[in-house]
Structure 1
Amino acid sequence: MKITQAHEAEWTTVSNHRGGRIEFKTLLIGTEGAPDNYYLSLYKAFADFVAPAHRHNFDQIRIGLSGKLNYGKHKDILPGEIGYFPEGQHYGPQAQEPNSDCVGLVVQFGGASGHGFMSQRQLREGFHALCQVGTFVDGVFRTSGDTPPTGVTKNRDGYEAIWEAVNGRPIEYVQPRYGAPIHLHPHGFAWQEINDDDRVLIKPLGTFTERSIELSQVKLASGAIYEFPLRAGIRLVYALEGEGGCNGRTWTKGTAIEIAADECARFVATRESLLFVHGLPIFASHDVADPAAHREALA
């Protein structure tokens, strides 16, 4: 089990491959190279942040905490709302409203295809390497001069340019499983009792793809105890409200917790609490033994 307190992390920039200013508080990171690698962080998008219409070869979950997170024309994630951006799905262009900063929680992770997720270390190092041969303008990488270096594409989406420079091959996208990003309004879902105990409530928000990507919320009354059922994949928990303990560790509002596959996790609330729960995709052992072969099978 991993636990990180948000108040102990500092706001930093990872790279500037998009336009304007955005900062992150790194909370938890997964295993680089694994198909379920992930990056869980708080993000702060400032009023000048922009990004062109684009797509990713990984999945992304965003939760609004304050302000409006724009992800397209007349499309904003408000506090308490959740956006699921599946791999291969276009969205954007993004532009924050004038004088409108926002803060949210974001999980970027390898999607059901098994293509994985480029780590923040790789992203940062790739960004600095490309800055030696070009510039990033409003989310687009532009090479210096008329002839780009071998293997570097001129006027390319910033993330795509970095990914290809890091991996040394063209980026691949799967056929989108959904017709658009999924915008969830958790307040419209009903709470359900667990084991006829009204002190422990769960709000299932959805299970996505053949890899059982799960989203839910759990509400615990003061003094309530909840033991998560065992799960074959990683489960991420973020405390939106409250405080308590888990397996001998203390958590408060803003705590992020990774529960490993098949790990027991017993939560005890010392005050009323609200938890966001995200189950990462579940891969069978034969899916992760040879990621390269798995990619070829999907091509």
Structure 2
Amino acid sequence: MKIAPFDESAFHMDHPRGTVSFNYLLMGGEPETPENYRYILGRQEADFNMPRHRHTFEQIRLPLVGDMNLGKQGILHEGEIGYFPEGQTYGPQDDPIGDPKQLQLVLQFGGASGLGMGAGRGRGPASSRPEGERRRERRSTRFPRPRYKGVLIMNPAHFNWLPIPDAAGVERKYMGAFTERGFWIEMIKIDAGAEWSPTSEGARRLIVALSGAATVDGESIGRLAAIQADAGEKLQVSATEETVLYIVGLPPVQLPSTPSDQFDTIESDGGIQFENPRQAV
């Protein structure tokens, strides 16, 4: 289990466009496996523009402050959850800097295609690109054909809180499960003084505290603290004030017995493809 209290001082510039600072809440640390992930809190530092593009990996985004322009598909509003399927083209993005600055939770992870995060562009907090470094050479890269038509947008405010059996003072909003991997998105609300002690036998759970204060296995957490609980690990969450947890469950990636042919092979310098190659970073 990993428990990472939020560190406001941990933002640093690590986006190819140079206008978004990243705070790496959690890193999977498994670059050679299809289960790798990275959990980022992104803060916009200037006007942001991004051409239409797609990735080889999955993304789940939750704007905490401000909206996100999806281009042709409209707006991902503050408080909504957007699921960006692997291989799905989106944008162009055109987001002027806001006041306060836009703040967004971004989970990136390997999808059911099995391509993992090895081709991802984000380098993480332990690495930096030397000044003047040349871009990687273009090479043949497989992109999964998208399983859904467009970004899926969920509005948590329209979902009901439902009680969890045998857990007094604990309620759940279940937003759904996706792809053959069956990863899911949910929220858990724990009343002050109540406890929640779940175990997930078949999946890793990535948790971010959206509000409140609690202890997890005796360690104090507050807003934007992040937790990785692997399959079989039992959490012991005791809320000292009403606490809302935002959870993504990630079962292991299972590949079909007959290899899939649902890929496009294109020339790329990594796990991103711009609709217009001339707009590449």
TM-score (norm 1): 0.78
2:253 match: 283
- 1:98/1:29 Cα in 2 relative to 1: closer, same or farther (>3 Å)? closer
Question: Letter of the aligned partner of 1:297 in structure 2?
Answer: P
Map 1:77-156 to 2 at 5 A: 77-97=76-96, 99=98, 101-118=101-118, 120-121=122-123, 128=130, 131-133=132-134, 152-153=137-138
2:36 match: 37
Q: CA deviation at 1:98?
A: 5.6
Would you say the 8 A contact 2:188–2:246 is kept in 1?
yes
Q: Does 1:267 align with 2:266?
A: no
Question: Letter of the aligned partner of 2:69 in structure 1?
Answer: N
Would you say the 8 A contact 1:215–1:279 is kept in 2?
yes
After superposition, the CA RMSD in angstroms is: 2.6
3-state SS of paired residue (1:108): strand
Q: Does 1:51 align with 2:50?
A: yes
Would you say the 8 A contact 2:209–2:244 is kept in 1?
yes
Map 1:1-299 to 2 at 5 A: 1-7=1-7, 9-16=9-16, 18=17, 21-30=19-28, 31-73=30-72, 75-97=74-96, 99=98, 101-118=101-118, 120-121=122-123, 128=130, 131-133=132-134, 152-153=137-138, 169-195=139-165, 197=167, 199-284=169-254, 297-299=259-261
Q: Which has the higher contact order (CA 8 A, sep 6+)?
A: 2
Q: CA deviation at 1:189?
A: 0.4
Question: Percent of aligned pairs with the same residue?
Answer: 35
Greater C-alpha Rg: 1
Would you say the 8 A contact 1:212–1:282 is kept in 2?
no
3-state SS of paired residue (2:150): coil
Question: Letter of the aligned partner of 1:33 in structure 2?
Answer: E
Would you say the 8 A contact 1:247–1:266 is kept in 2?
yes
Would you say the 8 A contact 2:67–2:78 is kept in 1?
yes
Q: CA deviation at 1:34?
A: 1.5
Would you say the 8 A contact 2:40–2:106 is kept in 1?
yes
Q: CA deviation at 1:152?
A: 2.9
Question: Letter of the aligned partner of 1:25 in structure 2?
Answer: N
Would you say the 8 A contact 2:19–2:44 is kept in 1?
yes
Q: CA deviation at 1:298?
A: 3.0
Q: CA deviation at 1:262?
A: 1.6
3-state SS of paired residue (2:141): coil
Question: Letter of the aligned partner of 1:10 in structure 2?
Answer: A
CA distance in structure 2 between the partners assigned to 1:86 and 1:271 by the alignment:
35
Q: CA deviation at 1:46?
A: 3.6
Question: Letter of the aligned partner of 2:49 in structure 1?
Answer: V
- 1:264/1:181 Cα in 2 relative to 1: closer, same or farther (>3 Å)? same
Would you say the 8 A contact 2:24–2:125 is kept in 1?
no
CA distance in structure 1 between the partners assigned to 2:258 and 2:140 by the alignment:
13
Would you say the 8 A contact 2:41–2:104 is kept in 1?
yes
Question: Letter of the aligned partner of 1:87 in structure 2?
Answer: E
3-state SS of paired residue (2:123): helix
* Count of aligned pairs: 257
Question: Letter of the aligned partner of 2:106 in structure 1?
Answer: V
For structure 1, the 5+ residue unaligned runs are 135-150, 154-168, 288-293
Deviates further, 117-126 or 186-195:
117-126
- 1:9/1:228 Cα in 2 relative to 1: closer, same or farther (>3 Å)? farther
